[in-house]
Amino acid sequence: MDILDKYISKQTVDFLQNKICIEKNLIEINQEFEKFCGIVDFFENIDDLKYLKNQSTNLTDREEKSEYGDYQTNSELSDKICELLKSKEISPNIIFEPTFGKGNFIISSLKKFKNIEQIYGVEIYKPYVQITKLKILDFFIINPNIDKPTIKLFHANFFDFDTKKQIKVNKNNNLLIIGNPPWVTNSELSGIGSENLPRKVNFKNHKGLDAMTGKGNFDIAEFISNTLFDNFSENTGNFAFLVKNSVIKNILYRQIINNYKISNLKKYLIDAKKEFNVSVNASLFYCKLNSKSDKLCAEYDFYSHNRLKTFGWINNKFVSNTKTYNKYSDFDGTCQYEWRQGMKHDASKIMELYKENNFYFNKLDEKFELENDLIYGILKSSDLKGGIKNKTRKHTIVTQKKIGQETGYIKNKYPKTYNYLQSKLDIFNNRKSSIYKGKPAFSIFGIGDYSFKPYKIAISGLYKKLNFTLINPDKNNKPIMLDDTCYFIGFDDKIEAETIFEILKTEKTKKFLSSIIFNDAKRSVTKNLLMRIDIVAIMQKMNKAEYKNNNYLNISRKIATIVQTKLALFG
C-alpha cells in the first residue's frame, strides 16, 4: 500500500482493511463511511471498493498536467490562506472548492473553520477524488472529536456541473468559495487539442477590451471565477482563489462592464516559484460576495501582509497604482503623436543578419552578399537601454515599403537579395501566423511611411524599465528600423525628436507611465498605454527652468498646431 501510505496514516490503512468488506452492499458501506468522515457516497461504485480492498490502487499523479493546469497547493500554503481568512473573521458554514485536486483546501478548511456544516467539491481527475476522500477520512480518524460536516465530492467536469442545482445554499448561509483553479488559457488548451474548455467561450466579447486582453485568449481560471460570481451573486459569503496575477487584472479590468457584486477586493502576492516551482506571478484573490460592485483592488504581500498599492478604475481609467496615478492623472489623455509597433517578419533565422566586411551572415551561420538598398540596421528590445543611438548590431532586409506591396520588383533590381530570399522561400511560406497567408512572397508587417522616418523615439514593450531611446539615422544616413517587440514615434525633424525625447524621459512621464503599466503582463508596455501620454499636458506642467535651454517653445507651437490647442503658457 505504498501509494496509500503517502497520503494516509497507518491507522487509516488498518481502518480500511477492517471496514471494507466486499460481501456487504455498497449502500451499507457508504453509510458506515459517512458516519466516520461525513463523505456522502464514499465509494461511487463497487470497483472503487475493490480497488482499495485489493490494495491495488490507481491513485497515481497524472502525466498530462498541462491540459488541466495542474498545480496542487501545498498544505502549508492552504493552511496559511485559511488562517488569513479566519483572521478576517470569516467563519463559513458552507465550503465550495470547484476544482479540489488533492484536497488540501478542504483539509485546511476542516482544520481552521469551526462552523462548517456542508462541504462541496468538484474535480475532473478521478484518482484525485479518491485521494481527497482518503485524506478526509484520515483527518477524522486522527481527529475523531471534530464535528463532521456533510461532504459531497463530485467526480465531474466543472464546465458540465450544475452548481446552482447541486450546491444547496440559502440566504442565511455563509458561503466560502475557496481553491486554486487550473492555470491554463484557452489558447494553450486549443494548442494541445484539449476538450477541457468551457462550452460558452464568448463571455468577454466586449468591444474595446480586446487590445488589453489579447484577442479571444482567456484564462480558464477567469472563466471559472466569473461563473461563480454569477451563480452566487445573491449569496452571502466570501471568495478566495489562488490565480495568476493576469487573471486578477482581467477580472478588475472587465469589472467596469461586468459589474459583479463583489467588494473589498484584495490581492495577496505569493512566491509561485517557492510554492509551485513555476515562474509566473500569482496571488491569492479575495473578495466579498453579494455586496456593492467594487472596482479597486488593494495589493498586499501574502507573507508579511504589508500593503503595497491599489489598482483598478479611477474615473473610467484603468490604472496600476492609484497613489502615483493621482499625482500624474493630468497627463492621462491622448498622445499627440502616433506610437507604432516595429517591424514583424517571424523569420529571425534568416532575416536577422550580421555584417562582417562586405558579407552578411544569418543565424544559420550562412555567408552571402546582398545589395545595400533593402538592408537596414535594426534594433531589438534588448538594444533600447536609453540614450541616443545611431548604430545597430544587426541588420535586416526590408522587402516592402508598405503592407501588402508587391515584391516582384526585387528580382530585377536586386538579384543577390532576390536569390537569397528565394532560397529561403520555404521558411517564409511556413510562417505560422495567418497574416502572411495570401500575401506577396517575403512579406513583412509593421511597415509603412513611419518606418522610414529618419528620427525615432523608441521603447521596448517587454521590459519593466521605461527606457526611451532616441534613434538617429546610421552612418549611411539610412533610418534605423525597430523590431516588433518595440514601439516608436517617427519624426522628420531632428529638433522636434530631441525635444519630445527630453519630455518623454523626464521622471514625471515615467512615473505617470508606471502608474498605468502592469508589470506582470508579458508585454507590459503596449501601444494603448503609450497613446495615453498627453505630451502637451506634460509640457504645460514643465517649469521655466525645464524648458529654458531647449526648443520647447518652437516644438510646443508645432504640437499646439497639431492639436489646435493654444498654449498660453508658451505664447
Ligand X SMILES: C[S@@+](CC[C@H](N)C(=O)[O-])C[C@H]1O[C@@H](n2cnc3c(N)ncnc32)[C@H](O)[C@@H]1O
Q: Does 128 bind ligand X (CB under 6 A)?
A: yes
The greatest distance separating any two alpha carbons of the chain, rounded to the nearest whole angstrom, comes to 98
Closest contact distance (angstroms) between CB of 184 and ligand X is 8
Q: Does 159 bind ligand X (CB under 6 A)?
A: yes
240: buried, middle or exposed (CB in 10 Å: 19+, 13-18, 0-12)?
Answer: buried
Q: Does 123 bind ligand X (CB under 6 A)?
A: yes
Q: Does 120 bind ligand X (CB under 6 A)?
A: no
Of 38, 92, 149, 182, the one binding ligand X (CB under 6 A) is: 182
Q: Does 325 bind ligand X (CB under 6 A)?
A: no
Nearest CB to ligand X, comparing residues 153 and 480: 153
DSSP per residue, 256-317? HHH--S-EEEEEEEE-HHHHHS--S-EEEEEEEESS----EEEEEETTT--EEEEEEEETTE
Cβ(150)–Cβ(214) below 8 Å:
no
- Binding mask of the shown chain, residues 187 to 226, with x at each position contacting ligand X by CB under 6 A: ---------x------------------------------
Stretch that binds ligand X, among 155-163, 203-211, 323-331, 547-555 (CB under 6 A): 155-163
Closest contact distance (angstroms) between CB of 125 and ligand X is 4
Q: Does 121 bind ligand X (CB under 6 A)?
A: no
Q: Does 183 bind ligand X (CB under 6 A)?
A: yes
Nearest CB to ligand X, comparing residues 53 and 111: 111
| Cα torsion angle, 558, 564, 570, 571, sign | positive
Nearest CB to ligand X, comparing residues 102 and 148: 102
Closest-approach residue to ligand X (CB): 101
Of 57, 75, 150, 157, the one binding ligand X (CB under 6 A) is: 157
Nearest CB to ligand X, comparing residues 104 and 417: 104
Cβ(388)–Cβ(472) below 8 Å:
yes
Strand order in the sheet with 367-368: 354-356, 359-361, 367-368
Closest contact distance (angstroms) between CB of 124 and ligand X is 4
Of 122, 176, 319, 347, the one binding ligand X (CB under 6 A) is: 122
Cβ(500)–Cβ(337) below 8 Å:
yes
Nearest CB to ligand X, comparing residues 180 and 396: 180
Closest contact distance (angstroms) between CB of 299 and ligand X is 21
Nearest CB to ligand X, comparing residues 75 and 540: 75
From CA 418, how far away is CA 411, in angstroms rounded? Answer: 5
Q: Does 125 bind ligand X (CB under 6 A)?
A: yes
Q: Where is 318: in which H helix or E strand?
A: strand 317-319
Q: Does 179 bind ligand X (CB under 6 A)?
A: yes
Cβ(174)–Cβ(288) below 8 Å:
no
Cβ(299)–Cβ(307) below 8 Å:
yes
DSSP state, 41?
A: T
Q: Does 158 bind ligand X (CB under 6 A)?
A: yes
Q: Does 101 bind ligand X (CB under 6 A)?
A: yes
Closest contact distance (angstroms) between CB of 134 and ligand X is 15
Q: Does 237 bind ligand X (CB under 6 A)?
A: no
Strand order in the sheet with 317-319: 150-155, 118-123, 94-97, 175-179, 237-244, 282-289, 263-270, 296-301, 307-314, 317-319
Nearest CB to ligand X, comparing residues 123 and 502: 123
Task: For residue 458, give the nearest of 472, 474, 444 by alpha carbon.
Answer: 472
* C-alpha cell of residue 174: 455563509
Closest contact distance (angstroms) between CB of 520 and ligand X is 18
Of 8, 95, 124, 131, the one binding ligand X (CB under 6 A) is: 124
Nearest CB to ligand X, comparing residues 193 and 571: 193
Report the site for ligand X in 463-502 (rule: CB under 6 A). none
Closest contact distance (angstroms) between CB of 162 and ligand X is 13
Report the site for ligand X in 40-99 (rule: CB under 6 A). 68-73, 99
DSSP state, 150?
A: E
Of 96, 105, 376, 420, the one binding ligand X (CB under 6 A) is: 105
Closest contact distance (angstroms) between CB of 254 and ligand X is 21
Of 33, 100, 113, 232, the one binding ligand X (CB under 6 A) is: 100
Cβ(479)–Cβ(454) below 8 Å:
yes
Query: How many residues bind ligand X, per CB under 6 A?
Result: 26
From CA 440, how far away is CA 407, in angstroms rounded? Answer: 6
From CA 542, how far away is CA 536, in angstroms rounded? Answer: 10
From CA 146, how far away is CA 150, in angstroms rounded? Answer: 13
Of 12, 30, 93, 104, the one binding ligand X (CB under 6 A) is: 104
Cβ(255)–Cβ(239) below 8 Å:
no
Residues that bind ligand X (CB under 6 A): 68-73, 99-102, 104-105, 122-125, 128, 157-159, 179-183, 196
